């Protein structure tokens, strides 16, 4: 059993798909022969096979050490340097992991610029043994750099400089960047991010795998799933490749004016997979004045907030449901002698049964309301299928970006805010821009 993709309710005609057969084959060729835009950043395509096995064993060893000597593990990173590991940890561990796991509590920092958040985090970790993984490919991103400066001095005060450095792990470029220089100077254990793997495609590298392993998850199985997906989605024929069908179908819908894709899930544990997916697609495709806007909803919660819009608002969106065939755990609804809440008609039914009926009912209602519906089903949410799913989305994103006619592997737009922020903060080298911006404020 593998991931299944169903677009039978997307309102797409057979010939619409057929028209995209050749462009998809071409996109496949360009991706695999590395002849397209962004071809410096295609290391992720073969990574599930070509990854550095020695480094992989080091991840497992270090994760064991961290688990042994830490009550708290802090992951400092932003964007592609944190969303992947967070997605895995939320999807695959206990819903209340930090409250009941044998392993270290895991907290994320450096993904915002909030002093309140950092102060609160420090209160929570007070008196506990801590290890830190600071992750930044460029090594110069402001948010994680500030958070790390704070935690570095916290650790040095708590443990002394020598002991602190034994508890700090840096994941960054193999040669350049401020974090690399700092890590070398301070003598931290480091993990390398391959040059040809961009942030949002880096979950299978130490960026994602070290925090995931510290959470007690089986990273071998994740890589097995990714490897299987790599094989499955090598097929260049659109009719036989579900991953490419997802890429093609979303492009067909986009061309028909469906410019928003809403990724819907029915399990709260999938929330951060959606956050990761939003980054992957938003940053890869939103450029040159083009791109589907990736949005996400958690059902059934968001039916009580966004349900009305989805059913009845502007018809420029389509819905992709991330469906888990078999839920991890389930619970039966019991009979009550007095049926005061009127729920006895559900006696003997399980929560998952009710959830699936909600899914079916919502799906039909949305289709009737003019929302094209796609389903990506995975047999169950475990490490193996998580690996498959991530690779499915990454490969579909590369193909989809090429079909859209953009470079899916750069993010020039992210730089604009950074330049303005640096100028306003008075960073050396930005004096001219500062002057121009100050006049506008």
Q: Which is nearer to ligand PA5, 79 or 104 (CB)?
A: 79
141 or 373: CB nearest ligand PA5? 141
The reply to whether 418 belongs to the active site is yes
Q: How far apart are CA 313 and CA 369, in angstroms?
A: 9
Q: Which listed range, 136-144, 245-253, 306-314, 317-325, lies at the site for ligand PA5 (CB under 6 A)?
A: 136-144
Question: According to CB under 6 A, which one of 131, 136, 205, 400 is a site residue for ligand PA5?
Answer: 136
What the block records as the tokens of 246 is 């997802």
Q: How far is the CB of 131 from ligand PA5 (least distance, A)?
A: 19
Do the strands 373-380 and 4-9 form a parallel or antiparallel pair, or are they unpaired? Answer: antiparallel
Residue 110 interacting with ligand PA5 (CB under 6 A): no
Measured from the Cβ of residue 142, the count of other Cβ atoms closer than 10 Å reads 16
**Catalytic residue, candidates 68, 418, 431, 435:** 418
283 flagged as catalytic? yes
Residue 377 interacting with ligand PA5 (CB under 6 A): no
Told to check if 283 binds ligand PA5 by CB under 6 A, we report: yes
What percentage of the chain's residues is helix, strand, coil (to nearest 5)?
55, 15, 30
Length of the chain: 441
Q: Residue 104 or residue 198: which is nearer to ligand PA5 going by CB?
A: 198
411 near ligand PA5 (CB under 6 A):
yes
Kindly indicate which of the ranges 94-102, 192-200, 261-269, 312-320 contains the residues binding ligand PA5, using the contact rule CB under 6 A: 192-200
Q: Based on CB atoms, which residue is closest to ligand PA5, 103 or 194?
A: 194
Among 43, 48, 79, 401, binds ligand PA5 (CB under 6 A): 79
Q: Which stretch binds ligand PA5 (CB under 6 A): 3-11, 130-138, 309-317, 356-364?
A: 130-138
Could you tell me if 351 and 330 are in contact, meaning their C-beta atoms sit under 8 angstroms apart? yes
Evaluate whether 334 touches 347 at the Cβ level (below 8 Å).
yes
Say how many C-beta atoms besides its own lie within 10 A of residue 354's C-beta.
15
Nearest CA to 276 among 408, 45, 97, 85? 85
> Does 199 help bind ligand PA5 (rule: CB under 6 A)?
yes
Residue 217, C-beta contacts closer than 8 angstroms, at least 6 positions apart: 88, 89, 92, 93, 383
Round to whole Å and give the CA distance between 266 and 399. 27
Place of tokens 């519906």: 373
Shorter beta-carbon distance to ligand PA5: residue 87 or 232:
87
Contact between 198 and ligand PA5 per CB under 6 A: yes
Interface with ligand PA5 (CB under 6 A): 78-81, 136-138, 141, 144, 198-200, 283, 411
């Amino acid at each position: 059993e593998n991931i299944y993709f169903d677009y039978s309710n997307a309102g797409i005609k057979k010939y619409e798909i057929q028209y995209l057969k050749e462009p998809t084959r071409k996109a496949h060729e360009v991706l695999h022969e590395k002849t397209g835009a962004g071809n410096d950043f295609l290391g992720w395509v073969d990574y599930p096979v070509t990854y550095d096995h020695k480094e992989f064993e080091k991840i497992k060893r270090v994760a064991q050490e961290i688990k042994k000597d830490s009550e708290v593990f802090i992951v400092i990173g932003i964007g592609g340097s944190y969303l992947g590991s967070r997605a895995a940890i939320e999807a695959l561990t206990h819903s209340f992991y930090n409250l009941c796991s044998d392993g270290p509590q895991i907290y994320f920092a450096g993904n915002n610029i909030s002093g309140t958040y950092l102060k609160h985090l420090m209160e929570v970790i007070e008196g506990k043994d801590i290890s830190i993984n600071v992750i930044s490919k460029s090594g110069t991103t402001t948010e994680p750099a500030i958070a790390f400066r704070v935690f570095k001095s916290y650790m040095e005060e708590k443990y002394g400089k020598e002991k602190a450095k034994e508890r700090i792990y840096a994941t960054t470029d193999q040669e350049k960047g401020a974090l690399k220089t700092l890590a070398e100077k301070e003598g931290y254990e480091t993990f390398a991010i391959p040059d040809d793997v961009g942030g949002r495609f880096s979950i299978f590298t130490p960026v994602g795998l070290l925090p995931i392993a510290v959470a007690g998850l089986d990273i071998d199985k994740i890589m097995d799933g990714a490897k299987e997906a790599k094989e499955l989605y090598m097929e260049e024929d659109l009719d036989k490749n579900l991953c490419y069908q997802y890429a093609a179908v979303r492009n067909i819908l986009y061309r028909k004016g469906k410019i928003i894709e809403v990724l819907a899930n029915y399990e709260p544990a999938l929330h951060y997979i959606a956050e990761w997916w939003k980054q992957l697609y938003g940053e890869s495709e939103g450029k040159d004045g083009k791109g589907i806007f990736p949005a996400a909803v958690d059902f059934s919660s968001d039916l009580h907030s966004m349900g009305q819009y989805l059913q009845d608002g502007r018809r420029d969106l389509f819905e992709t449901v991330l469906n888990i065939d078999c839920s991890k755990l389930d619970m039966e609804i019991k009979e009550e002698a007095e049926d005061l809440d009127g729920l006895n008609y559900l006696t003997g039914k399980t929560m998952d049964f009710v959830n699936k009926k909600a899914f079916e009912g919502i799906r039909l209602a949305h289709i009737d309301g003019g929302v094209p519906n796609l389903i990506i089903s995975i047999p169950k949410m475990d490490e193996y299928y998580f690996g498959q799913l991530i690779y499915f989305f990454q490969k579909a994103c590369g193909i989809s970006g090429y079909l859209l006619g953009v470079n899916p592997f750069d993010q020039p737009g992210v730089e604009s805010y950074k330049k303005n922020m640096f100028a306003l903060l008075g960073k050396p080298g930005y004096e001219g821009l500062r002057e121009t911006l100050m006049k506008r404020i």
